[in-house]
């Protein structure tokens, strides 16, 4: 199914989510993300930002309502089709979730290996991206030996290596200073320019205000869309939604 | 399979280290049991072929050894006459005295060499079982014509022996089955522990878009490797044990028991057995992982 034109990358209708038998942490969620849009997901701690992200990266199924991704209704998508969809979603987890026994290179190569890309093909891509994020001298290092900022860059590299159509970042600026936070957001803007739909969860209101992307706000499990404009920055991708072009060397400048 | 990349640090799992040890022990026991089964089967077959087409007529030695030869010879001739008139009897042959002694040696030992031992005369009779020889009728007829003569139908005791051996064989098969279950149970336990230990890495792989197969393959490959390692050790320890049993059997000169040595097909079966156990470990790990992953969304 094409994602060009008026297709939505993400569509939530009347979604509710509860953990086990607990109360609904998300209630009556309705929103749509157009292809190439850029949104901030805001809300106080505990408002449900991470939970909403989990629904988008298919870590959980909603307790009720409709979640559709890339135009597919997740409720009727067979389980065997989900890995292929997950590969089109890049996630920067709040706690990075790097595999500590693997080198930086292997961590970043993981999404490609999982997708069956051959070693001789992925080697160049991974090395190139690691150079772009300034980790060319740390390819063999294991995550525990890296600084917080370096680990974050590994996590981001892993999220974008397979050129996802949808990039989700859960408080990626949480553990870094302001300067680094802006640099990271600029990196995501670059990716967005190349056609990737981006959602960044953050509680850094200053950042949101300054960059002026539309904001999805969660308040105690309910959602408010503060601006319904299409947040996509002018894109370089073809309108037919063909695969995102290789990384622009400009991205380097932001790191 | 196990030389593929492994993204999950399964090779660092301390809990899995005892798996090869256990598999080695299981393979060791399984090989002994299977070797036993094969020897028994072989013996049964050989006895069946060698004995079932024959029976023995026994003419007891006279009470008074002084008047021995004439009376016995005529009794033997009487018996031969009866036999030649019985349908289904192919051949009847009187065993010479030293042949009789040789047959008895396993039971009598050196005693068999003593000349004044009263020996029965034995007639080796080849019969055609297909033609339905009535050995009981033959026995009755013989005892009328030749007082004291008895028919020893090997089939009867052979059947009893075979039944006994079949029971032993069933027990050995039971042992093999138990070994299989224990191996499967242990691999399931080890795999589940591994799944719990590496749940974070597994979740990350899952969310990155790994198929269940991709994850299961790593566990299966690991189990295969551990199984092969254990199986090889078990096999290696089996060799001296089997040789020792063979040696002891030979030394004790249990001649009633046919030789215990294994042929080429048996050797092949024993070498294949560790591979089978490793295969079972691999499949079990795979199924366990796939079942667990199926519960993830
Ligand atoms: N695994 C979980 N089990 C039970 N409750 C959870 C779990 N994760 C989050 N919650 C609850 O869901 C609500 C929203 O949490 P979360 O989505 O993490 O919010 P945020 O990311 O905005 O801080 C909170 O009340 C939290 O306690
Ligand atoms: Mg959160």
The full 3-state SS of chain B, as one line of letters, equals CCCCCCCCCHHHCHHHHHHHHHHHHHHHHHHHHHHHHHHHHHHHHHHHHHHCCEEEEEECCCCCHHHHHHHHHHHHHHHHHHHHCCCCEEEEEECCHHHHHHHHHHHHHHHHHCCCCCCCEEEEEEECHHHCCCHHHHHHHHHHHCCCCEEEEHHHHHHHHHHHHHHHHHHHHHHHHHHHHHHHHHHHHHHHHHHHHCHHHHHHHHHHCCCHHHHHHHHHHHHHHHHHHHHHHHHHHHHHHHHHHHHHHHHCCCCCCCCCCCCHHHHHHHHHHHHHHHHHHHHHHHHHHHHHHCCCC
Candidates B197, B198, B205, B207, partner chain A, best to mutate (most A CBs within 10 A): B207
Residue A154: φ, ψ to 5° = -65, -45
Q: What residues of A are in contact with residue B9 (Cβ under 8 Å)?
A: 101
Residue B4 covered by a domain: no
Clarify whether residues B69 and B36 are in a common domain.
no
Which residue CA neighbors atom 25 of ligand 1 most closely? Answer: A46
Q: What pLDDT is recorded for position A222?
A: 81
Clarify whether residues B243 and B218 are in a common domain.
yes
What is the total count of domains within chain B? 2
Q: Is A101 on the interface with B (CB under 8 A)?
A: yes
Looking from the CA of residue A94, the nearest atom of ligand 1 is 21
A48-57, B136-145, B244-253, B256-265: range with lowest mean pLDDT: B256-265
pLDDT 10s per residue in chain A (255 long)?
444 445 789 999 999 999 999 999 999 999 999 999 999 999 988 899 999 999 999 999 999 999 999 999 999 999 999 999 999 999 999 889 999 999 999 999 999 999 999 999 999 999 999 998 889 999 999 999 998 888 988 999 999 999 999 999 998 876 667 777 787 788 899 889 999 999 999 888 888 888 889 999 998 888 876 654 444 433 333 334 443 344 444 444 444
Q: What pLDDT is recorded for position B111?
A: 65
Residue B203 covered by a domain: yes
Closest C-alpha among B54, B272, B46 to residue B165: B46
Q: Is the pLDDT of residue B132 over 90?
A: no
The three-state secondary structure class of A43 is: coil
Q: Is B204 on the interface with A (CB under 8 A)?
A: yes
The CA distance from A69 to the nearest CA of chain B, in Å, is: 15
Clarify whether residues B70 and B212 are in a common domain.
no
Instruction: Answer with the one of B93, B121, B148 that is the final residue of a domain.
Output: B148
Distance CA A3, CA B77 (A): 106
Distance CA B264, CA B21 (A): 28
The radius of gyration computed from the CA coordinates of chain B, to the nearest angstrom, equals 31
With tokens 């079966």, the residue in question is: B269
Q: What pLDDT is recorded for position B3?
A: 45
Give residue B228's domain range. Answer: 10-49+158-295
Residue B5 covered by a domain: no
A19-33, B101-115, B224-238: range with lowest mean pLDDT: B101-115
CA of A23 to the centre of ligand 2 (A): 17
Residue B59: φ, ψ to 5° = -115, 115
Q: Is B200 on the interface with A (CB under 8 A)?
A: yes
Sequence-distant (≥ 6) Cβ neighbours of residue B69 within 8 angstroms? none
Q: What pLDDT is recorded for position B116?
A: 67
Average pLDDT over residues B89-103: 78
- CA A10 to centroid of chain Cα atoms: 12
Distance CA B10, CA B7 (A): 8
Q: Which CATH superfamily is domain A36-50+82-254 in?
A: P-loop containing nucleotide triphosphate hydrolases (3.40.50.300)
Clarify whether residues B164 and B234 are in a common domain.
yes
Tell me the pLDDT tens digit for each residue of B35-72.
Answer: 888 877 777 777 766 666 778 888 877 666 555 566 77
Residue B252 structure tokens: 């004790």
Q: Do A101 and B208 touch (CB under 8 A)?
A: no
Q: Given its phi and psi angles, is residue B91 left (phi above 0), alpha (psi -120 to 50 degrees) or beta?
A: beta
Q: What pLDDT is recorded for position A145?
A: 95
Clarify whether residues B289 and B169 are in a common domain.
yes
The rounded mean pLDDT for chain B is: 82
Distance CA A213, CA A193 (A): 13
With tokens 């749509």, the residue in question is: A32
* Any ligand 1 atom below 6 A from CB of A187: no
Q: Quick one: CA torsion of B68, B73, B74, B76, rounded to 10 degrees?
A: 120
Q: What residues of A are in contact with residue B208 (Cβ under 8 Å)?
A: 86-87, 110-111, 114, 158
First to last CA, chain A: 35
Q: Could you tell me which residues are beta bridge partners of residue A12? A: A31, A67
Chain B from 275 to 294: CB within 8 A of any A CB: 294
Q: Between chain A and chain B, how many beta carbons pairs sit less than 8 Å apart? A: 51
Clarify whether residues B231 and B137 are in a common domain.
no
Chain A from 19 to 38: CB within 8 A of any B CB: none
The CA distance from B236 to the nearest CA of chain A, in Å, is: 34
Q: Is the pLDDT of residue B16 over 70?
A: yes
Instruction: Answer with the one of B122, B148, B174 that is the final residue of a domain.
Output: B148
Clarify whether residues B77 and B114 are in a common domain.
yes
Angle made by CA atoms A253, A56, A172, in degrees to the nearest 5: 35
Search chain B and give the residue with CA nearest A158: B208
Q: Is the pLDDT of residue B17 over 70?
A: yes
Residue B210 covered by a domain: yes
Candidates B5, B6, B206, B209, partner chain A, best to mutate (most A CBs within 10 A): B209
Q: What residues of A are in contact with residue B11 (Cβ under 8 Å)?
A: none
Instruction: Answer with the one of B127, B148, B169 that is the final residue of a domain.
Output: B148
Q: Is the dihedral of CA A188, A192, A197, A203 positive or negative?
A: positive
Clarify whether residues B207 and B271 are in a common domain.
yes
Q: Is A61 on the interface with B (CB under 8 A)?
A: yes
Residue B55 covered by a domain: no
Which residue CA neighbors atom 14 of ligand 1 most closely? Answer: A48
Q: What pLDDT is recorded for position B36?
A: 83
Q: Is the pLDDT of residue B92 over 60?
A: yes
Chain B from 43 to 72: CB within 8 A of any A CB: none
Closest C-alpha among B241, B225, B264 to residue B4: B225
Q: What pLDDT is recorded for position A229?
A: 43
Looking from the CA of residue A171, the nearest atom of ligand 1 is 21
Clarify whether residues B236 and B208 are in a common domain.
yes
Q: Is the pLDDT of residue B1 over 70?
A: no
What are the domain boundaries of chain A? 36-50+82-254
Clarify whether residues B180 and B45 are in a common domain.
yes
Q: What residues of A are in contact with residue B203 (Cβ under 8 Å)?
A: 59, 97
Looking from the CA of residue A53, the nearest atom of ligand 1 is 17
Q: Do A57 and B209 touch (CB under 8 A)?
A: no
Residue B54 covered by a domain: no
Search chain A and give the residue with CA nearest B209: A83
With tokens 């209708």, the residue in question is: A13
Clarify whether residues B191 and B274 are in a common domain.
yes
Sequence-distant (≥ 6) Cβ neighbours of residue B194 within 8 angstroms? B8, B10, B13, B15, B16, B219, B222
Search chain A and give the residue with CA nearest B11: A101
If you ran DSSP here, which 8-state letter would residue A164 be given?
-
Considering only residues A78 and B265, tell me which one the structure prediction assigns the higher pLDDT.
A78
Q: What pLDDT is recorded for position B260?
A: 55
Residue B291 covered by a domain: yes
Determine contact, residues A85/A70, Cβ cutoff 8 Å: yes
The CA distance from A187 to the nearest CA of chain B, in Å, is: 21
Determine contact, residues B25/B236, Cβ cutoff 8 Å: no
């Amino acid at each position: 199914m094409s994602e060009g034109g008026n297709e939505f990358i993400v569509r939530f209708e009347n979604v509710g989510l509860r953990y086990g038998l607990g109360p609904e942490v998300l209630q009556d969620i309705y929103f749509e993300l157009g292809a190439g849009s850029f949104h901030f997901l805001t809300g106080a701690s505990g408002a449900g930002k991470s939970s909403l992200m989990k629904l988008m990266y298919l870590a959980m199924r909603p307790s009720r309502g409709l979640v559709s991704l890339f135009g597919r209704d997740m409720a009727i998508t067979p389980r065997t089709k989900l890995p292929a969809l997950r590969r089109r979603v890049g996630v920067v987890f709040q706690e990075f979730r790097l595999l500590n026994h693997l080198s930086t290179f292997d961590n970043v190569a993981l999404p490609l290996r999982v997708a069956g890309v051959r070693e001789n093909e992925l080697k160049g891509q991974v090395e190139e991206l690691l150079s772009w994020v300034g980790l060319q001298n740390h390819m063999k290092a294991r995550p525990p030996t890296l600084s917080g900022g370096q680990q974050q860059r590994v996590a981001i590299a892993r999220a974008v290596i397979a050129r996802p159509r949808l990039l989700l970042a859960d408080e990626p600026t949480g553990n870094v200073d302001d300067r680094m936070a802006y640099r990271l957001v600029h990196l995501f803007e670059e990716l967005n320019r190349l056609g990737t739909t981006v959602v960044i969860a953050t509680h850094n209101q200053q950042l949101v205000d300054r960059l002026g992307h539309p904001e999805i706000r969660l308040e105690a499990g309910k959602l408010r869309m503060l601006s319904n404009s299409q947040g996509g920055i002018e894109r370089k991708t073809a309108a037919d939604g063909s695969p995102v072009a290789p990384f622009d060397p400009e991205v380097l400048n932001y790191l | 399979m196990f030389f593929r990349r492994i993204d999950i640090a399964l090779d660092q799992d301390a809990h899995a280290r005892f798996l090869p040890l256990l598999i080695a022990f299981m393979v060791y026991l399984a090989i002994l049991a299977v070797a036993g089964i094969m020897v028994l089967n072989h013996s049964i077959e050989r006895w069946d072929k060698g004995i079932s087409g024959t029976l023995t007529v026994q003419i007891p030695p006279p009470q008074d050894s002084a008047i021995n030869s004439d009376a016995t010879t005529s009794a033997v001739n009487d018996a031969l006459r009866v036999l030649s008139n019985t349908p289904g009897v192919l051949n009847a042959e009187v065993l010479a005295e030293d042949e009789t002694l040789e047959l008895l040696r396993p039971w009598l030992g050196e005693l068999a060499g003593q000349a004044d031992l009263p020996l029965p005369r034995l007639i080796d009779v080849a019969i055609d079982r297909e033609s339905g020889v009535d050995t009981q009728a033959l026995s009755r007829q013989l005892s009328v014509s030749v007082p004291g003569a008895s028919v020893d139908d090997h089939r009867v005791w052979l059947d009893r022996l075979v039944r006994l051996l079949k029971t032993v064989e069933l027990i050995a098969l039971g042992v093999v089955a138990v070994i299989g279950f224990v191996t499967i149970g242990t691999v399931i336990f080890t795999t589940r522990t591994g799944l719990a230990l590496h749940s974070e890495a597994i979740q990350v792989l899952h969310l990155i878009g790994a198929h269940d197969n991709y994850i299961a393959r790593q566990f299966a490959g690991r189990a295969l490797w551990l199984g092969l390692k254990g199986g090889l050790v078990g096999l290696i320890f089996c060799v001296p044990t089997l040789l020792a049993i063979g040696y002891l059997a030979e030394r004790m000169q249990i001649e009633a028991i046919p030789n215990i040595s294994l042929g080429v097909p048996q050797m092949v079966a024993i070498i294949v057995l560790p591979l089978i156990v490793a295969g079972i470990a691999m499949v079990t790990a795979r199924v366990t992982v796939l079942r667990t992953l199926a519960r993830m969304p």
